[in-house]
Structure 1
Amino acid sequence: MCKTAYSILIERAAKFADSHGRTLRVFFEASGKHEDRNLISYVKALKAAGMPFAGSSG
């Protein structure tokens, strides 16, 4: 899964959970060392910098 797809998935899932008064918790199934490292780095980047395409346009 690419970083952009992961970010979009998390954003949409978080909005859905919030609209139903829920908290989103994300778990992933281990698939390989390289893939797992990528997903963990996506999570860290999302927490540190926020959405990669969320600009202050407007």
Structure 2
Amino acid sequence: MAKFTLGDVVKKEKTGFGTVRAIFLSKEGAQMYAVEKGGSFDFVEENRLSRHEPTELMN
């Protein structure tokens, strides 16, 4: 089962944040994600992603 869902904002291991646009299995059976950032897509294995927790701004 997928750890993230469509529309989730995730942090990629080394290249910043992006939005999950597609979830699929690789030929080897690994869970993969299409992550959009700035109009382009990166195809990333699930273990290279972490959930982005937005920072709350204080008044």
TM over 0.5: no
**Greater share of residues in strand:** 2
Which structure's relative contact order is higher, taking Cα pairs within 8 Å and 6+ residues apart? 1
TM-score by length of 2: 0.26
**Greater share of residues in helix:** 1
TM-score by length of 1: 0.26
